[in-house]
Structure 1
Amino acid sequence: MATSPRTNDLQRILADDAVALGILENAYDPSLVEFYGELGLDFVWIDLEHAGPSPWNGHRMEDLLRAADVGGTELLVRLPEPDPGTIRKALDAGVRNLFVSRIESADEVRRAVEASRFEYDGEPGKRGFASPRASRWGTTDDYAGTEDEEVVLGVTIENPTAVANIAEILAVPELGFVFAGPLDLAVSLGHPGEPTHDEVEEHVEEIREAALKADVPLGGLGFGMDDVNEKANAGYQILNLGSTTGALQSVVRSWLDDYEEA
């Protein structure tokens, strides 16, 4: 018996021009992914660029995806580079929301989005067809006809070349979102560890204005809740609130600070 096609709650939020809130789960633990869903977060960011399992580790990814399904949230998975093979592998494992790093041009972005589609811009796409977990192992009704609608692929804008090419990048058909990356922008601009440097903030603002003009959803990092609220009001639709280790550090240190020795 065929099963219903998958649905993507993060895609629905973006389509409704609403704001999605999430957290970077940098312990890569399925129980925490499930718990964050129970707490009401819209997405859990799994970063495979800077740490975590290999992007090719399908079993680890499937465990995280099952936890997201149980908790009622979406995984937002970042890949280290726009490699079409890695994109297809992640999608077949069941990832619905991807963003890729290390892009500089619209051509790179187009190849990445094309790799995520069975049909793309009126032509055949470059996604391979099989019966993977994404199709519930071949049981999903009209998998080929519905899957493209449920996949969101975005890119990180994190270097001056990408910022210079931002208009062309935003014009790539079916680009799901752009994510402004101030930490890597700071490095590429010669200000490592200074995401609030004036030059970095100027580039981030250029990304924001271009994304709003092109009507492409914009994602970014929140540096405290005042900053999150400000960015939500400024047009950001995907906002990361913090990280597992950051939250634990804050709470544990507050406990230690409040402890009074006998």
Structure 2
Amino acid sequence: MSHDFRKRLRERQTLLGTIVSSTDPASAEVLAECGFDWLFIDAEHGPYETTDLLPVLRAVDHRIPCIVRVPASEEIPIKKTLDIGATGIIAPQTNTVEQVESVVRYCRYSPNGNRGVGLSRASTYGLGLTEYVGSANDEVAVIVQAEHIEAVENIEQIVKVEGVDAIFIGPYDLSASMGKMGEVTAPDVVDAIEHVTKVCDAAKMPLGIFGVSAESVKPYIERGYSLIVSGVDVLMMAHAAKGMLSTLRSSNDRKGTE
């Protein structure tokens, strides 16, 4: 690996990223040239299979770190994602200490875990196997999500799990688990997020969060969150296209009244 993403993450440097949900490699390739610190490849909600993910990672071609949110916090998707060259993973719905401990084991080679050893893109198809296996435990980033009220209730224990590099809050799923679907500013949802924030701050655990716009994540940056995700590729394209079309229609309407 050529990135120091995990080191920067653990130092709580501000890392600005955006979500890639499209399986078209061009989307990730373009975003990799825009100056982001990292890309959040969404294989949980995006229509990704491993065969879709591989061309995206190839298109980015190590320009910037690609962190993949795996479809499930299970051994096979984690192993395949890391083997094809992801810089790290984001594990969804990690609500208990036992789940978090399992995720860490799946990401680490022995003696720190039980990740299987195979010839893959990450190790240059075996040509760099010794080098990759020797560095992966230090360089692969392991990020777990607190996106359910159960995770909030267990956060004091979760932050103590060795090998976790950051906690990523999923405000929308969290609100849904509390019976407040989409109400991310509801007082009890805000209180739950604040509880996670305080526990992570006390443990010096890096925190991440997603917002659909830059304005929505600014308060969290000011609060000390360092792993920031703003926007989604397809949504940004839609907003830009609608804005352009609105401008063109306004110009045409003015012309018609002259």
Q: Does 1:126 align with 2:114?
A: yes
Q: Which residue of structure 2 aligns with residue 136 of structure 1?
A: 124
Aligned pair partner of 1:67 in 59, 62, 85 = 59
Question: Which residue identity is paired with 2:99?
Answer: E
Secondary structure in structure 2 of the residue aligned to 1:242: strand
- Offset of residue 184 of structure 1: 0.2
> C-alpha offsets along residues 8-60 of structure 1, whole Å, 9 cap, x if unaligned?
34223213421111111122221121111111111121112223112xx2x32
> C-alpha offsets along residues 174-230 of structure 1, whole Å, 9 cap, x if unaligned?
102111111001110001121221111111111111111111111101343233332
Q: Which residue of structure 2 aligns with residue 257 of structure 1?
A: 246
Aligned pair partner of 1:157 in 133, 146, 158 = 146
Secondary structure in structure 2 of the residue aligned to 1:142: helix
Q: Which residue of structure 2 aligns with residue 182 of structure 1?
A: 171
Distance change (3 Å), C-alpha of 1:33 and 1:9 = farther
Q: Does 1:246 align with 2:235?
A: yes
Aligned pair partner of 1:229 in 206, 211, 218 = 218
Does the CA contact (< 8 Å) of 1:7 and 1:150 recur in 2? no
Structure 1 runs of 4+ aligned residues shifted over 3 Å read none
Q: Which runs of 5+ in 1 are unaligned?
A: 1-5
Q: Which residue of structure 1 aligns with residue 158 of structure 2?
A: 169
Does the CA contact (< 8 Å) of 1:100 and 1:155 recur in 2? yes
Q: Does 1:49 align with 2:44?
A: yes
Q: Which residue of structure 1 aligns with residue 187 of structure 2?
A: 198
Aligned pair partner of 1:34 in 29, 39, 42 = 29
> C-alpha offsets along residues 85-119 of structure 1, whole Å, 9 cap, x if unaligned?
22111111111210111221111100110111113
Query: Normalised by the size of structure 1, how large is the TM-score?
Result: 0.89
Does the CA contact (< 8 Å) of 1:80 and 1:102 recur in 2? no
Task: Using the TM superposition, name which of 7-16 and 191-200 deviates more.
Answer: 7-16
- Offset of residue 62 of structure 1: 1.6
Secondary structure in structure 1 of the residue aligned to 2:67: strand
Does the CA contact (< 8 Å) of 2:79 and 2:107 recur in 1? yes
Work out the CA distance in 1 between the residues paired with 2:11 and 2:112: 28
Does the CA contact (< 8 Å) of 2:68 and 2:86 recur in 1? yes
Does the CA contact (< 8 Å) of 1:98 and 1:152 recur in 2? yes
Query: Normalised by the size of structure 2, how large is the TM-score?
Result: 0.91
Aligned pair partner of 2:67 in 76, 79, 91 = 76
Secondary structure in structure 1 of the residue aligned to 2:46: coil
Aligned residues: 250
Task: Using the TM superposition, name which of 10-19 and 241-250 deviates more.
Answer: 10-19
Work out the CA distance in 1 between the residues paired with 2:4 and 2:30: 17
Q: Which structure's residues are more often helix, by fraction?
A: 2
Larger Rg computed on CA atoms: 2
Q: Which runs of 5+ in 2 are unaligned?
A: none
